């Protein structure tokens, strides 16, 4: 994750047009806590809008569909609605006791969500039978149904993403660094316990958002499994996921929508992923080489943005589970040009803060190939990874270079070549004192189970330098213009368990997704 479009996403933005904070049509959103006003980069600041707009999508290992699940539509869906006054006295929307009454008016029908490859899509020139292309077109169609006019651009929805981590290496379904792959024998690195068909899409069951019995609280969600023959979703031998969203009507000033996420792996599906994302409203997404729709209507640029989020982790997934407090994703080529959909030369870039305290630092003074070449402190001081006395090895889980890099600084580890449709570069952080000045956790366990409701404010600043023909990713203060334009325009993603061996339960409130300071 278009020359004139921001590329967002889980995946990233590619910025081609400059963003101007002084634009007179942009609305400010009150105080930022330090006396200044700010501009929210998302369409629904603080998730406070009673009329929620949320969508969902499911990907196979390389972020495509591959094959639709039996009895299910194409793996794109949405729950977008408006909350309007209703009641006995239609002219003023109150009941006989003088209390306001409401009605949920949905913009997306069950028929829309059930559309599958080959079904006519309104606005499409012809029927699309390719399941990958159909899903991309369906997302645009759902975006049209959900779109809200706004300044400086319209927005569509938050995005829930499901991903199956199984890879059938013998089928050569996923490209290798963006190019056609050859079959090879199954290895432990790429699970496929069920053999042929292990990369299937999940069953998805949707509970449309509705008012509860008190008519004062809204609730909706979705749930399902990857085990297509499952008889008991409660069995620990069966994979399971659920996402529930709820909100008290009119509670925007005190709190927004709360998302509850659950994810359970199973013997046949040992690696599952669940994301809550704010994608760009137009353009490519890093890791998603089709035009996308989303919630991020402006391109945030470091160092002038912050993220506020409230998170409560109820249960972890064990030492093999990664959990991202935040994941920024972007996309640009190794020579700095914006991504254009050429998967052989586009590169997905990720910066991820892992808060599972059981996640170790693979980056050490004896394994510098697992480290970024440089760490840049906020004051501009740069330290090379060979400086054992000053480099903060324990601040990094791992760094890997894109598989198509021709001049990566050696030694290096190359990223997994198959889990994105194009090559990828990944920087994974873990809590450490050096991240305190950016608002990230500074010690293991912060924001994790037992720490209560963790409300964090991340002032995300990412620095980079040119090294041969690739951008080396390093967190820190002063940044070169190219890295600001590309990396820090990334989509934001939360609640991401990966390789979990047991259930995970989390509760999330995005208080202020992305803020721009004036």
**Which residue reads 């920024």 in tokens?**
328
CA distance 150 to 153: 5
C-beta separation of 385 from 373 below 8 A: yes
What pLDDT, on a 0 to 100 scale, did the predictor assign at position 30?
A: 59
**pLDDT digits 0-9 by tens, 19-67:** 222 223 345 565 555 556 778 899 999 899 999 999 999 999 999 999 9
Distance of CA 216 to the CA centre of its chain: 30
C-beta separation of 190 from 173 below 8 A: no
* Integer angstrom CA distances of residue 392 from 10, 266, 361, 372: 27, 36, 10, 11
Tally of CB atoms within 10 A around 25: 7
What pLDDT, on a 0 to 100 scale, did the predictor assign at position 450?
A: 82
What pLDDT, on a 0 to 100 scale, did the predictor assign at position 109?
A: 98
Q: 42, 6, 505, 55: which is closest to 308 by C-alpha?
A: 42
Helix, strand, coil fractions of the chain, as percent rounded to 5: 10, 35, 55
Residue 232: partners with Cβ closer than 8 Å, 6 or more residues away: 238
C-beta separation of 161 from 57 below 8 A: yes
What pLDDT, on a 0 to 100 scale, did the predictor assign at position 451?
A: 77
What pLDDT, on a 0 to 100 scale, did the predictor assign at position 102?
A: 92
Distance of CA 515 to the CA centre of its chain: 17
DSSP-derived 3-state class of residue 45: helix
**pLDDT digits 0-9 by tens, 489-505:** 334 554 444 444 455 56
Token readout for 202 is: 């999940």
What pLDDT, on a 0 to 100 scale, did the predictor assign at position 179?
A: 97
H-run or E-run covering 210: strand 203-211
Spans in the chain with pLDDT lower than 70:
1-36, 87-93, 95-97, 252-254, 286, 452-518
- Kindly list the domain boundaries of the chain, sorted by start residue: 38-362+420-517
**Which residue reads 């995970």 in tokens?**
504
Token readout for 493 is: 């993603």
What pLDDT, on a 0 to 100 scale, did the predictor assign at position 250?
A: 86
Handedness of CA 481, 289, 272, 295 (dihedral sign): positive
Q: Give pTM, 2 decimals.
A: 0.86
CA distance 201 to 204: 9
What pLDDT, on a 0 to 100 scale, did the predictor assign at position 125?
A: 75
CA distance 517 to 47: 19
């Amino acid at each position: 994750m278009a020359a004139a479009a921001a590329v967002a996403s889980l995946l990233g933005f590619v910025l081609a047009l400059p963003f101007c904070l002084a634009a007179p049509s942009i609305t400010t959103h009150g105080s930022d806590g330090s006396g200044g006003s700010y501009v929210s980069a998302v369409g629904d600041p603080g998730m406070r809008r009673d009329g929620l707009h949320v969508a969902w999508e499911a990907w196979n290992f390389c972020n495509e569909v591959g094959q639709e699940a039996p009895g299910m539509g194409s793996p794109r869906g949405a729950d977008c609605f408006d909350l309007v006054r209703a009641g006995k006295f239609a002219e003023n929307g109150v009941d006989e006791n003088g209390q306001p009454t409401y009605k949920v008016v949905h913009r997306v029908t069950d028929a829309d969500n059930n559309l599958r490859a080959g079904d006519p899509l309104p606005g499409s020139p012809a029927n699309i039978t390719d399941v990958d292309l159909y899903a991309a077109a369906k997302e645009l169609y759902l975006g049209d149904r959900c779109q809200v006019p706004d300044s400086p651009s319209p927005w569509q929805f938050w995005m829930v993403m499901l991903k199956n981590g199984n890879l059938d290496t013998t089928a050569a379904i996923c490209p290798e660094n963006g190019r056609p792959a050859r079959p090879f024998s199954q290895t432990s690195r790429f699970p496929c316990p069920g053999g042929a068909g292990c990369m299937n899409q999940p069953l998805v069951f949707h509970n449309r958002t509705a008012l509860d019995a008190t008519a004062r609280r809204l609730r909706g969600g979705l749930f399902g499994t990857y085990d297509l023959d499952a008889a008991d979703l409660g069995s620990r031998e069966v994979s399971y996921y659920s996402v529930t969203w709820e909100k008290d009507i009119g509670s925007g000033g005190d709190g927004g929508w709360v998302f509850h996420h659950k994810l359970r792996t199973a013997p046949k599906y040992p690696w599952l992923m669940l994301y809550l994302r704010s994608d760009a409203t137009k353009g490519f997404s890093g890791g998603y080489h089709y035009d996308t729709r989303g919630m991020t209507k402006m391109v945030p640029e470091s160092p002038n943005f912050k993220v506020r989020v409230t998170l409560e982790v109820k249960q972890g997934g064990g030492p093999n589970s990664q959990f991202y407090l935040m994941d920024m994703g972007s996309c640009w080529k190794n020579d700095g040009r914006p991504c254009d959909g050429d998967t052989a030369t586009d590169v997905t870039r990720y910066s991820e803060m892992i808060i599972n305290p059981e996640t170790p630092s693979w980056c050490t003074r004896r394994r510098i190939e697992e480290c970024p070449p440089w760490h840049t402190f906020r004051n501009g001081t740069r330290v090379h990874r060979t400086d054992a006395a000053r480099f903060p090895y324990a601040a990094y889980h791992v760094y890997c270079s894109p598989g198509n890099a021709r001049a990566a600084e050696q030694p290096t580890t190359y990223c997994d070549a198959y889990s994105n449709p194009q090559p990828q570069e990944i920087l994974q952080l873990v809590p450490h004192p050096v991240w305190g000045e950016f608002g990230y956790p500074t010690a293991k366990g912060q924001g994790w189970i037992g720490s209560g409701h963790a409300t964090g404010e991340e002032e995300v600043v990412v620095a980079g330098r040119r090294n041969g023909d690739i951008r080396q990713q390093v967190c820190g203060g002063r940044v070169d213009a190219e890295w600001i334009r590309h990396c820090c325009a990334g989509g934001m993603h939360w609640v991401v368990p990966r390789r979990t061996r047991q259930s995970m339960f989390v509760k999330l409130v995005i208080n202020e997704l992305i803020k721009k300071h004036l």
